Amino acid sequence: MNNAHIDVRTVLFWGISAVILLILPQLFPLGYLVNAMITTVVWIIFALAFDLSAGHVGAVSLGHAVFFGVGAYVAAIAAPQLGLGYFGSMGLSAVTMGILALIAGIAFFRIAEVSFAIGTLGALIIAQQIANNAYDLTNGPMCIQSVPNPTIHLPGNAISVTQPVEYYYALLPLLLLTLIVYRLLTTQRIGRAFASVREDEVRASAMGVHPLRYKLLAFSVGGALIGALGSFQAQYITVVCPSELAIDYTLTMLIIVFVGGAGRMRGVVIGAILFNTLPRILENIGGGTIPPAYQQVIYGLILLGVVLYMPDGIDGLITRLTGGRKSKRQVVTDA
Amino acid sequence: MQETTDSGPSGSKSRPKRALSFLRVQNAYAFIGLVLIVIFAWVFFVIEIEPQFYLQEGERARYAWDTFISQFIIGLAQGSIYALIALGYTLVYGILFMINFAHGEVFMAGAYIGFFAINAAEQSGFLESQTALAILLTMGVAVMGSVIVAILLERIAYRPLRGAPRLVPLITAIGASITLQQLFLRLFGSSPRTYPRISLFVGQGMWGCEPVDGTTVCEGIDLISKSYDVLIFNQEVRIRPFFFVILFVSLLLMSALWFFIQRTKTGKAMRAVAEDKDTASLMGINVDRTIVITFMLGAALAGAGAVLFALYNRQVTPFMGFIPGIKAFTAAVLGGIGNVPGAMFGGLFLGVAESVFPSALGLPNQLKDVVAFGLLIVFMIFRPTGIFGEVLSEKKA
């Protein structure tokens, strides 16, 4: 990384975030708080992996939950039979989902962007229907119950993960990996290639950037990360249902990514945190001024409003208010 | 508008060789013929030849001609509703090159508003005394409701984004779609609303004669709710006359649409705007107005389809529009999105395919969604132009 671009504020931001992430469960060892933090981290990883293809190469797939759900099923069905531990199971889901994403990408990237979105949605519905009907494999709507609690094999001893706090710390390495991979892929040469593919594929290929290759890279890396996340989810909840393949995940992901700011790491992270904390805070402080039942209506309206009036999301707003760097989109169109 | 720039290695035109190129039959009718021959050959095999290998004495085959015929008719009825919705996608795509993802919710809104109309008619006894008129009125109210929702959608979610990158309206459409679904859920509750059971007798004294207490009473045929045993091709099949009503009404509406597009001045304006917005506007065509009219037409068909659908299924829920919406989109893709006769044909084809295929292939019937979306993906990948060959891609921007 180019040293000239690392300024003190960025280092402070990430440093403080890391400290908070590590210390918070120790300061407040409350079950529900830790569970809420796990959910938030899951969504951060999910949204970042989704943003790799949606925000950076401009391929919005409405079927990303396939990697999550099928990854969870792989962890619930195959991993115990192979006797894999926590990280082994994650690795297996990541590899299989990476390959699935690669194959799906080769097939689906032949179609134009908007049809791509709906084609992947079709694939998601197909996956859910199969999970619902393949009783022998997935137990159908009765779900796969009692996925074994994971064990982490360290040189010397094996730790069994059972408490929420333990799950939380077991999830952090995946978060770190996701952040590093995201950073590596979206800066430097690859990141610029991604941006060029997103803005104009014809021009990108004229510049010697093969659009399909970069799209496949973003799509399969994102798929692999989400697969690993699905494996975590299966071992954390210990139940895997066809509802893991629901369209709801897609909608939540769209809201997080577009409200936070598509194609911006900070924005996506902020979006995921807000999405998971704001409703709880509103419920407690507002004293029920907004009935929780109307939350979904409000989510829909927020998504609508943000796209119409705040196309760069919250991160774009922050950048504008602090007078920071120009938005990435602008840099590319200016160039 | 219609420029055909080649779009790099990932575009669909510049690639000289593709897999399964034999699927790219240039002549649509040859393609349809091929598909029909394959389907009938397979059905014939399953019904006539395969049972000889596994059937024991006195056992009934798992699939026979009567099942096939009744599934085919149900498929036609279901398909004509898909076709009505698909026309909404295709009309909007033909003009704006965007996919109105919230169209399924326009359909749902029509069914709900129709429910309130027909419910009021039932409460007041009007449905009992003037059944046909009440159903017509219900359809009118549902059409109005759908049209209003569509106008609001266009004004709020799509018009500000005309000219934005093409993914952006899709995201607002998804936002609008969730908002509408959840709004109806909160306003009218999550328990399904049920349309009343309606009987509409026609042809008194001609058909439907039954012996009652020794004398023959001819009360006519119930067009909507009852099923009858009928002989078709020497097979006894149990069908509802309503299937044919759906097919007939849909074909009527579709031909009305076809007439409107081809013969009226507004239809001409729509075709001009689809061809080239800027030039059309130079010729004195009000582009905004024409686009609104396009949305209204699509919504009207969806509203009429919604009432037919609800009279058939009777249950109305806030989520009922989602799956039919995507299936209708599939139908539009099958026929070639942006192509009006294509959407009609695609709808009927999809309806029949998802009704007939699962049992013909020996799969559980719940997998019909898999058949539908499998077709969607296969067509998108191998024949993105659909059967009738309108280009579905970034070629038009």
The answer to which of A173-187, A307-321, B18-32, B329-343 has the lowest mean pLDDT is B18-32
The answer to the question of residue B51 being in a domain is no
| Whole-number Cα distances in Å, A251 to A173, A280, A300, A304, B104 | 26, 19, 9, 12, 16
pLDDT at res. B397: 34
| Whole-number Cα distances in Å, A171 to A28, A96, B60, B368 | 18, 19, 56, 38
Closest partner residue to A299 (CB to CB) among B178, B185, B329 is: B178
Burial B345-368 (b: 16+ CB within 10 A, else e): bbbbbbbbbbbbbbbbeeeeeebb
In the numeric block, the tokens 């998971």 are attached to A276
Q: Is any Cβ of chain B less than 8 angstroms from the Cβ of A194?
A: no
Find the angle CA(B77)-CA(B83)-CA(B84) to the nearest 5 degrees. Answer: 95
Q: Residue B183's domain spans which residues? A: 62-199+236-382
- pLDDT at position B237 over 80: no
Q: Which residues of A touch B86 (CB under 8 A)?
A: none
**Strand bridging mode B193-194 / B315-316:** antiparallel
- CB of A17 within 8 A of CB of A176? no
pLDDT at res. A283: 65
pLDDT at res. B9: 41
Question: The domain that contains B256 carries what CATH number?
Answer: 1.10.3470
Nearest in space to B154 (alpha carbons), one of B293, B285, B272: B293
- Helix (H) and strand (E) counts in chain B: 14, 8
pLDDT at res. B160: 82
Q: How far is A265 from chain B (nearest CA, A)?
A: 20
The answer to the question of residue B6 being in a domain is no
What's the average model confidence in pLDDT over B22-43? Answer: 69
- CB of A93 within 8 A of CB of A277? no
The answer to the question of residue B251 being in a domain is yes
- CB of A151 within 8 A of CB of B389? no
- pLDDT at position A4 over 60: no
The answer to which of A157-166, B11-20, B90-99 has the lowest mean pLDDT is B11-20
Q: How far is B273 from chain A (nearest CA, A)?
A: 21
Q: Is any Cβ of chain B less than 8 angstroms from the Cβ of A123?
A: yes
pLDDT category at B45 given cuts 50, 70, 90 is confident
Q: Is any Cβ of chain A less than 8 angstroms from the Cβ of B4?
A: no
In sequence order, which residues have a C-beta less than 8 Å from that of residue B343 and are 6 or more positions away? Answer: B83, B86, B87, B89, B90, B331, B332, B335, B337
B127 is written with which tokens? 């449905």
Most A-contacting residue of B18, B154, B167 (CB-CB within 10 A), to test interface: B167
**Residue B211 forms beta bridges with which residues?**
B216
Q: How far is A43 from chain B (nearest CA, A)?
A: 19
The answer to the question of residue B267 being in a domain is yes
The answer to the question of residue B170 being in a domain is yes
- CB of B10 within 8 A of CB of A211? yes
pLDDT at res. B149: 92
Q: Which of A33-37, A62-66, A78-82, A156-160 has the highest mean pLDDT?
A: A62-66
The answer to which of A144-148, B54-58, B178-182, B379-383 has the lowest mean pLDDT is B54-58
Burial B89-116 (b: 16+ CB within 10 A, else e): bbbbbbbbbbbbbbbbbbbbbbbbbbbe
| Whole-number Cα distances in Å, A298 to A152, B161, B178 | 41, 21, 9
CB atoms within 10 A of CB A151: 19
ipTM of the complex: 0.76
Q: Do A125 and B326 touch (CB under 8 A)?
A: yes
- pLDDT at position A330 over 50: no
Q: Is any Cβ of chain B less than 8 angstroms from the Cβ of A254?
A: yes
The answer to which of A136-145, A233-242, B3-12 has the lowest mean pLDDT is B3-12
The answer to the question of residue B211 being in a domain is no
B34 is written with which tokens? 């091929």
**pLDDT > 70: percent of chain A:** 88
Q: Which of A280-284, B19-23, B247-251, B316-320 has the highest mean pLDDT?
A: B247-251
- CB of B316 within 8 A of CB of B190? no
Q: Do B10 and A299 touch (CB under 8 A)?
A: no
Most A-contacting residue of B96, B178, B392 (CB-CB within 10 A), to test interface: B178
The domain total for chain B is: 1
pLDDT tens digit sequence for A10-49: 788 778 888 887 877 777 777 777 788 888 888 889 888 8
What's the average model confidence in pLDDT over B331-335? Answer: 84
